[in-house]
Amino acid sequence: MNLIFKNAVIIDKNSPFHKQAVDIQVENGIIKKIAKNIAPDGFDTVELDNLHISKGWFDSSVSLGEPGYEDRETLANGLNVAAKSGFTDIALQPTGNPIAERQADISFLLTKSATAATKLHPIGALTKNSEGKDIAELFDMKNAGAVAFGDYNKSITDAGILKIALQYVQDFDGLVIAFAQDNNIKGKGVVHEGVVSTRLGLKGIPTLAEELQIVRNLYLLEYTGGKMHIPTISSAKSVQLIKEAKAKGLNVTCSVAIHNLILTDEVLTDFDTRYKVMPPLRPDSERKVLIEAVLDGTIDMITSDHNPLDIELKKLEFDMAKDGTIGLESAFGALQTVLPLEVIVEKFTAGKPIFGFTNQDITEGAVASFTLFNPETHWTFSKEDIKSKSKNSAFLGQAMKGKAYGIYNQGKLILND
49 in catalytic set: no
Residue 13 inside a domain? The answer is yes
> Looking at the structure, do residues 73 and 161 belong to the same domain, yes or no?
yes
> Looking at the structure, do residues 232 and 100 belong to the same domain, yes or no?
yes
Number of separate domains in the chain: 2
Tell me which residues of the chain have a pLDDT lower than 50: none
Number of CB atoms found within 10 A of residue 41's CB? 8
CA 385 to CA 64: how far, in whole Å?
A: 18
Residue 11 inside a domain? The answer is yes
What type of residue sits at position 12? D
Domain CATH for 385: 2.30.40.10
CB 93 within 8 A of CB 100: no
Which residue among 308, 332, 354 closes a domain? Answer: 354
CB 386 within 8 A of CB 394: no
Q: How far is C-alpha 134 from the chain's CA centre? A: 27
> Looking at the structure, do residues 377 and 330 belong to the same domain, yes or no?
no
> Looking at the structure, do residues 318 and 218 belong to the same domain, yes or no?
yes
> Looking at the structure, do residues 250 and 106 belong to the same domain, yes or no?
yes
> Looking at the structure, do residues 15 and 136 belong to the same domain, yes or no?
no
Residue 360 inside a domain? The answer is no
Active-site residue identified among 23, 59, 182, 305: 305
Residue 181 inside a domain? The answer is yes
The domain in which residue 32 lies consists of 3-52+365-415
> Looking at the structure, do residues 28 and 125 belong to the same domain, yes or no?
no
> Looking at the structure, do residues 205 and 130 belong to the same domain, yes or no?
yes
User: What local confidence, expressed as pLDDT, does residue 14 receive?
Assistant: 87
Residue 93 inside a domain? The answer is yes
Q: Using one digit for the tens of pLDDT, what is the confidence trace for 366-398?
A: 999 999 999 999 999 999 999 999 999 999 999
> Looking at the structure, do residues 174 and 303 belong to the same domain, yes or no?
yes
> Looking at the structure, do residues 296 and 242 belong to the same domain, yes or no?
yes
Residue 296 inside a domain? The answer is yes
CA 153 to CA 183: how far, in whole Å?
A: 11
> Looking at the structure, do residues 387 and 298 belong to the same domain, yes or no?
no
Residue 359 inside a domain? The answer is no
Which residue among 308, 330, 354 closes a domain? Answer: 354
Q: Before 98, cis peptide (omega within 30)?
A: yes
Domain CATH for 194: 3.20.20.140
Residue 68 inside a domain? The answer is yes
> Looking at the structure, do residues 67 and 161 belong to the same domain, yes or no?
yes
User: What local confidence, expressed as pLDDT, does residue 66 receive?
Assistant: 97
Strand order of the β-sheet with 57-62 is: 57-62, 87-92, 119-124, 148-149, 175-177, 227-230, 252-257, 301-303
List all residues 6 or more positions away from 226 whose beta carbon is below 8 Å from its beta carbon. 166, 167, 169, 170, 174, 176, 251
State pTM to two decimals. Answer: 0.97
Burial class (CB in 10 A: 0-12, 13-18, 19+), 247: exposed
Please tell me the number of Cα atoms within 13 Å of 135 on its side-chain side. 18
Which residue among 328, 354, 380 closes a domain? Answer: 354
User: What local confidence, expressed as pLDDT, does residue 1 receive?
Assistant: 77
Q: Using one digit for the tens of pLDDT, what is the confidence trace for 1-24?
A: 799 999 999 999 988 999 999 999
Please tell me the number of Cα atoms within 13 Å of 230 on its side-chain side. 30
Closest by CA position to 37, among listed 55, 19, 24? 24
